[in-house]
């Protein structure tokens, strides 16, 4: 299929990444995992924050796409906060994927430790850009 949009965005142009998808929606995980795999990345999945933390300790993802509203004891915000406390995630790019939007929501996500916020449904070009550039949030000044 010459000229197919997906062909132009494959990992051949950039590094093959280890990517974790954390979402309690089976369909959302499956779609995102399919896109990431088609882009040439190694992908694992978790249905809640707790299992996402466990998978990460073994898999050591470079990028995590995490829903904000998750079933279980931890929200996506809690996942990001906990992840930033562990050395496993020291160099990981953690991306919030949410149906919510607005400046308050984004600010809360960045304060929790997310590097980027994406609106559902996620665009293929947004995925490719994040995987190529691994954006980082601006470090928040700590007030003591």
Q: Which CATH number, 3.40.50.2300, 1.10.1060.10, 3.40.50.1370, 3.40.50.1000, labels domain 16-42+60-133?
A: 3.40.50.2300
Strand partners, 118: 97
Alpha-carbon distances of 96 from 66, 108, 122, rounded to whole Å? 5, 11, 11
Q: Which two tokens stand for residue 128?
A: 């490719």
Cis peptide before 121 (omega within 30 of 0): yes
- The pLDDT of residue 58 is 93
In the chain, where are the structural domains located? 16-42+60-133
Each residue's pLDDT tens digit, 75-133: 999 999 999 999 888 889 999 999 877 778 899 999 999 999 999 888 888 999 999 99
Q: Which of 130, 133, 123 is nearest to 6 (CA)?
A: 123
% the chain with pLDDT above 90: 62
- The pLDDT of residue 102 is 75
- Tell me the whole-structure pTM to 2 decimals: 0.85
């Amino acid at each position: 299929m010459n000229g197919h949009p997906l062909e132009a965005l494959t990992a051949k142009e950039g590094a093959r990444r280890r990517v974790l998808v954390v979402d309690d929606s089976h369909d959302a995980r499956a779609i995102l995992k399919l896109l990431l795999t088609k882009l040439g990345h190694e992908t694992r999945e978790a249905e809640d924050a707790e299992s996402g933390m466990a998978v990460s300790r073994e898999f050591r993802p470079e990028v995590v796409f995490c829903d904000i509203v998750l079933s279980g004891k931890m929200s996506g915000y809690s996942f990001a906060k906990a992840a930033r406390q562990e050395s496993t995630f020291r160099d990981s790019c953690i991306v919030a994927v949410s149906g919510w939007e607005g400046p308050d929501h984004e600010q809360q996500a960045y304060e929790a430790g997310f590097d980027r916020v994406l609106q559902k449904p996620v665009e293929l070009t947004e995925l490719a850009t994040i995987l190529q550039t691994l954006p980082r949030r601006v470090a928040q000044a700590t007030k003591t």
